[in-house]
Amino acid sequence: MKSIYVALCWVVVMVTGLVACSDDEGKTIPAHTEAEKLWIAQNQAYFQERKAIVEEDGQLLYQQLVVEDDTLLYRVLEVGQVDSVPTIDSDAKVSMLGILPVSKDQIVGDSKGNPVEMTFDLDSPDLIKGLAALLLQTHKGERVETIIPYQLGYGEKDYPYPYIPLCSTLQFTLTVKSFE
């Protein structure tokens, strides 16, 4: 009887442990390797450093935009048309250059490091949350630099093309060309 009780407790502990280590699709999430833990720590440190940069006048260099429970950083480099903002149903034509700032690897741009033009459906579930939220308040003609934490980017999974490692901070410089 005691062995049945022990076996039953063991089964309950194992099932509870496996459920706690799975994602929403029921797949087990592997533990982070030491290299992944280092990468995550470097990305978090980069974001926190940028968040704390103060200009000579005492103002923070980057403004903060809260999206759900997370925050992205941005600063306006060139002002756009004040009366021209998109709606959630808009498609935004954007010229952008992006990097993984921790590794300095380019992720969006042409082979010479120049910005590329892309059109984003602002209502698309495929558009990362941080970029969608920022574009919804960016004016036509405005040039913006943004730093997006992994929670508002590609999350805790690797992104295959272009390759972006899990938990990567993203940095984009973009100019909004038009909204349709």
Number of structural domains the chain divides into: 2
Mark 102-119 as b/e (b = at least 16 C-beta within 10 Å). Answer: beeeebbbeeeeebeeee
Are 91 and 142 within one domain? yes
Measured at the CA of 174, the angle between CA 93 and CA 43, to 5 degrees, comes to 130
Are 77 and 5 within one domain? no
AA identity, residue 67? V
Are 134 and 172 within one domain? yes
Are 100 and 11 within one domain? no
Q: What is the CA radius of gyration of the chain?
A: 21
Q: What is the pTM of this model?
A: 0.79
> Which of the four pLDDT bands, split at 50, 70 and 90, describes residue 76?
very high
| pLDDT confidence of residue 152 | 96
Distance CA 142, CA 134 (A): 12
DSSP code, position 138: P
- pLDDT at 2 exceeding the cut of 60: no
Instruction: Give the domain range for residue 128.
Output: 32-179
Burial of 91 from C-beta contacts in 10 A (0-12 / 13-18 / 19+): middle
AA identity, residue 96? M
Are 70 and 80 within one domain? yes
| pLDDT confidence of residue 22 | 35
Are 49 and 2 within one domain? no
| pLDDT confidence of residue 104 | 78
Are 96 and 24 within one domain? no
Contact (Cβ atoms closer than 8 angstroms) between residue 101 and residue 153: no
Residues whose CB is less than 8 angstroms from the CB of residue 102 and which lie 6 or more positions away in sequence, other chains included: 39, 42, 43, 46, 168, 169
Summarised one tens digit per residue, pLDDT across range 15-70 is 333 333 333 444 444 568 899 999 999 999 999 999 999 999 999 999 999 999 99
The CATH number linked to 156 is 3.10.50.40
Are 84 and 157 within one domain? yes
| pLDDT confidence of residue 39 | 92
Summarised one tens digit per residue, pLDDT across range 105-162 is 778 888 788 899 999 999 999 899 999 999 999 999 999 999 999 999 999 888 887 8
Are 5 and 60 within one domain? no
Residues whose CB is less than 8 angstroms from the CB of residue 129 and which lie 6 or more positions away in sequence, other chains included: 67, 68, 152, 153
Mark 26-62 as b/e (b = at least 16 C-beta within 10 Å). Answer: eeeeeeeeeebeebbebbeebbeebbeeeeeeeeeeb
| pLDDT confidence of residue 108 | 82
| pLDDT confidence of residue 30 | 58
Helix (H) or strand (E) holding 7: helix 2-20
| pLDDT confidence of residue 20 | 37
- pLDDT at 11 exceeding the cut of 90: no
Are 60 and 135 within one domain? yes
